[in-house]
Structure 1
Amino acid sequence: MATFTTYYHSPVGLLRISGTDHYISEVHFMKEEEATVAPAGTTPLPPMAIQAIEQLIQYFHGNRRIFELPLNQEGTDFQQKVWNELANIPFGKTISYQEFSRRLGDPKVIRAAASANGKNHIAIIIPCHRVIGAKGELVGFGGGLARKKWLLTHENKVAHGVQTLF
């Protein structure tokens, strides 16, 4: 099965998007030093890549709240359970790690849930940014806390009908 990797310059920086003709397997926030070496595409993008980029553009323009893409990332049964539960956090809402672990069925799995959340390779689409600390603080995000804040602010504004320009 052929795989692809492409890049999208989003309002929160360069995103690397990978997958196959059948699914998306990665949306990764590039670090500044990585962003300078991202190659320009010279071959036509497969339809799955185009679909992912179009949906991300719609999300950033405030026209998409739910992604409709086939996803595939390898992980343990517990990680899969965590990633599936992340997808149930509504657009524009946040949840604490404590509440998230309760939703997983056991409040004692808070650290394991946080670890699995951190291993999510499909940023934004699987909304790991919607999980916050117990007191509402922004904690732990592979893309950096500034991006997490931007994404949460963006979703909050869109959910409440506030127009934004970026």
Structure 2
Amino acid sequence: MMIKNIFYVGFCFLLFGCATDDSVDLQEAGFYGDWIVVSAETDREIDYDLDGNTSTDITEDSSCFTIELALNPDGSFREIIMEREDDDTGLDCGISVKTGNWEYNRDSNLIILNYLDENGNIVIALTSNSIKDNDSFYVEREFTDDQGSFIANLRFGFLN
């Protein structure tokens, strides 16, 4: 009987005592809502819209760059990206939409977006460890165009 009780207590300890729950209730996190990129500072001067003018902020250089992000309280997200596309007729604005799940990890101060790519692979689309407050957060993302690849520090501002 004593061995059975020790086994039971040990089993309960393993089952409940070692669990770590660093996820946060999304309602409590306060990050759900609609966000938009308000600046996209690059690591070098670029001519994103190919008009001959360069800038270190894509949002100042081109009207053809924006990212809108809807973080829903149920853990789903929708990201709409409008960016430059080159084709035979010249420059155009293309739109892509990604949907998936998001989470906020308080311990690491990260917002993480997960979605499936066209091959069914899980992709971590966005992480941020520069969350300053509930009004903005920063994300570093790499882009590639005909001028090469560049890093942009995206600042998302809260819409509603």
TM over 0.5: no
Q: TM-score range, shorter-chain basis?
A: under 0.3
Structure number with greater Rg is 2
Q: TM-score, normalised by structure 2?
A: 0.22
Give me the TM-score of the superposition, normalised by structure 1. Answer: 0.21
